[in-house]
Amino acid sequence: MNADAVRNIRQAMLDGPVLPTMLRLAGPTTAVLVIQSVVSVAETAFIGLLGTNALAGAALVFPVLGLMVMMSNGGIGGGVSSAIARALGAGKRDDADALLWHALILAILFGAGFSLLMQSFGQVFYEFLGGSGESLTAAMAYSNWVFAFAIPLWAVNLLAAGLRGSGNVVLPARITIGGAIVTLLISPAMIIGIGPFPRMGVAGAGIALGLYYSGALLVLIICLLRGNTGLHLRPVHLEARHMHDILRVGLISALGTLQTNITNLLLTGAAGLFGAEVLAGFGVALRLEYLLLPVLLGLGSALVAMVGTNVGAGQQERARAIAWYGAAIGGLFCAAIGLLVSIAPEDSWMRLFSQDPAVLRTGAAYLTRVGPFYAAFGLGMEIYFASQGAGRPITLFLAGTVRLLIAACGGWVAILWFNMSANALYWLIGTGMLAFGYICLSALRHPKWGERLVAL
């Protein structure tokens, strides 16, 4: 997508038809997220060829790697996208370019921080999660390589977020899809040893991932240095106002990402109190919610760009209308999925993963109780992304806190203090989703939502 095309899409964000523009922006990002999910599943399958210990070792690393990807994409990346969209909406191209440079500096700092943290304390953390013997060895082999490339990962994700904020969704999509194809080719070759590649085991998966991000970063920087992508990457003096504009949204969003991971971790632990069968059924049912995320995140990235651009341009009511469109789409999409799995939980989802009657029964119990609340979850998530674009994420962080307190903390209290059943836990999870959606909806209805907080 060249500079003229980016200007056209940016103009459409300001005065074009809302729904077609939103779908045009969401489509490439959604496709990228789906492909990334496929690559992740394929990589897991390749590692599985090495045996149970390798698979267990990689499983120990995935939560931290997933957290880093989510924080860089939707957390700090959301702050970058929002800040650049608002700057361009206000007609301040130089500020947008400066924000991109600041994003690269932040990527270096956050990437170095993750790398240093995991290189120093990774083994302690994996032991805490239960790693030992060969599985711990495999975890460290994978982790050391993955986090050695933390800076390229952060840089790719933050620069891509900046491009999406400018309206250029095509270039990040092309780079990611091309990289995914290359990764699918070289990852198994490096893991098990094919052709010129020696057998590197689980470390090969980490090296392949690192090479992908390094190559993607090189391509991104070359394109951004040319300045024909809608943004121009060039060194500028660091300014506190630019860092503040990114981080006042990005840090809260990153904490929200951490909050979501803690919620799911606590809920999984609560389900585990009822034994392996309930835990297995819960895990299979919960996997459906993770598969909803590519669509919600793809639509959300469009909302960040569109709302941010209109807020920057002082078009508060159009920004609010865009947020309502996104909330309606996200809510209806999740409502349809939730209705299907709540009516026929076993046939529509559970039997895809297990035929064990106990697992089917416990998973179905979850879906019939939580599925009807998916609409509130989808609606709330899209308002969350729209509020990122508006530069007002704090209320949505509070909504996530309420969800954590009701579902996770309330679930543990209900089980340990009042000896309630797994079904009670599921009702609390659904209630937490409902509260999350209601608080997000209330934030969107606030008269000052969408107002510029500071002069750009």
The model's pLDDT over 6-57, given as tens digits with 9 standing for 90+, comes to: 778 888 888 989 999 998 988 888 888 777 777 776 777 777 777 777 877 8
Query: In the numeric block, which tokens belong to residue 412?
Result: 């543990």
Residues 204 and 276 in one domain: no
Residue 356 lies in a domain: yes
Residues 150 and 261 in one domain: no
Query: In the numeric block, which tokens belong to residue 351?
Result: 């039997």
Residues 140 and 289 in one domain: no
Check residue 456 and give its pLDDT.
43
Residue 169 lies in a domain: yes
Residues 297 and 357 in one domain: yes
Residues 152 and 263 in one domain: no
- Specify the 3-state DSSP secondary structure of 244: helix
Check residue 266 and give its pLDDT.
84
Number of domain units in the chain = 2
Check residue 50 and give its pLDDT.
79
Share of the chain above pLDDT 70, in %: 97
Of residues 320 and 187, which shows the higher confidence score?
Answer: 320
Contact partners, residue 62, CB within 8 Å, separation at least 6: none
Which of 224, 295, 304 is closest to 13 using CA atoms?
A: 304
Residues 394 and 434 in one domain: yes
Residue 428 lies in a domain: yes
Q: Residue 444 above 70 pLDDT?
A: yes
Region 258-284: mean pLDDT is 82
Question: What is the rounded distance in angstroms from the CA atom of residue 80 to the CA atom of residue 102?
Answer: 9
Last residue of a domain, one of 178, 209, 238: 238
Helices and strands in the chain, H and E counts: 18, 0
Check residue 453 and give its pLDDT.
52
Residue-wise pLDDT for 60-105, tens only, equals 787 788 888 888 988 899 899 999 999 999 889 999 999 999 999 9
- Of 114-123, 145-154, 267-276, 364-373, the one with minimum mean pLDDT is 267-276
Residues 112 and 205 in one domain: yes
Which of 18, 186, 207, 168 is closest to 81 using CA atoms?
A: 168
Residue 314: what residue type?
A: G
Q: Residue 192 above 50 pLDDT?
A: yes
Check residue 205 and give its pLDDT.
86
Query: In the numeric block, which tokens belong to residue 211?
Result: 């090479």
Region 241-248: mean pLDDT is 92
Residue 88 lies in a domain: yes
Angle separating helix axes 133-148 and 202-226, nearest 10 degrees: 10
Residues 225 and 272 in one domain: no
Check residue 3 and give its pLDDT.
66
Question: What is the rounded distance in angstroms from the CA atom of residue 110 to the CA atom of residue 103?
Answer: 10
- What spatial distance separates the first Cα and last Cα of the chain, rounded to whole Å? 27
Residue 367 lies in a domain: yes
Q: Residue 383 above 50 pLDDT?
A: yes
Question: What is the rounded distance in angstroms from the CA atom of residue 41 to the CA atom of residue 258?
Answer: 22
Element (H, E) at 228: none
Question: What is the rounded distance in angstroms from the CA atom of residue 78 to the CA atom of residue 84?
Answer: 10
Residue 449 lies in a domain: no
Check residue 268 and give its pLDDT.
80
Contact of 430 with 369, CB cutoff 8 Å: yes
Check residue 454 and give its pLDDT.
46
Question: What is the rounded distance in angstroms from the CA atom of residue 119 to the CA atom of residue 141?
Answer: 11
Region 439-454: mean pLDDT is 79
Look up the domain containing 106 and give its range: 3-238
- Of 15-19, 43-47, 147-151, 356-360, the one with minimum mean pLDDT is 43-47
Check residue 455 and give its pLDDT.
41
Residue 246 lies in a domain: no
Region 319-343: mean pLDDT is 94
Residues 319 and 187 in one domain: no
Contact of 307 with 428, CB cutoff 8 Å: no
Of residues 290 and 339, which shows the higher confidence score?
Answer: 339
Q: Residue 145 above 90 pLDDT?
A: yes
Element (H, E) at 144: helix 133-148
Q: Residue 344 above 50 pLDDT?
A: yes
Contact of 419 with 413, CB cutoff 8 Å: no
From residue 282, how far is each of 61, 325, 353, 408, 429 by CA, in Å? 21, 32, 12, 14, 12
Region 129-149: mean pLDDT is 86
Which of 160, 173, 146, 131 is closest to 35 using CA atoms?
A: 173
Of residues 321 and 48, which shows the higher confidence score?
Answer: 321
Last residue of a domain, one of 238, 265, 296: 238
Q: Residue 186 above 90 pLDDT?
A: no
Arithmetic mean of pLDDT over the chain: 87
Last residue of a domain, one of 203, 238, 273: 238
Which of 78, 106, 21, 100 is closest to 391 using CA atoms?
A: 78
From residue 75, how far is each of 224, 247, 308, 385 by CA, in Å? 22, 9, 15, 10
DSSP code of 165?
A: H
Residues 127 and 203 in one domain: yes
Residue-wise pLDDT for 196-229, tens only, equals 777 888 888 889 889 989 999 999 999 999 877 8
Residues 154 and 230 in one domain: yes
Residue 250 lies in a domain: no
Contact of 319 with 82, CB cutoff 8 Å: no
Q: Per-residue b/e over 353-382, b at no fewer than 16 CB within 10 Å? A: bbeeeebbebbbbbbbbbbbbbbbbbbbbb
Check residue 452 and give its pLDDT.
59
Check residue 191 and give its pLDDT.
83
Residues 161 and 307 in one domain: no
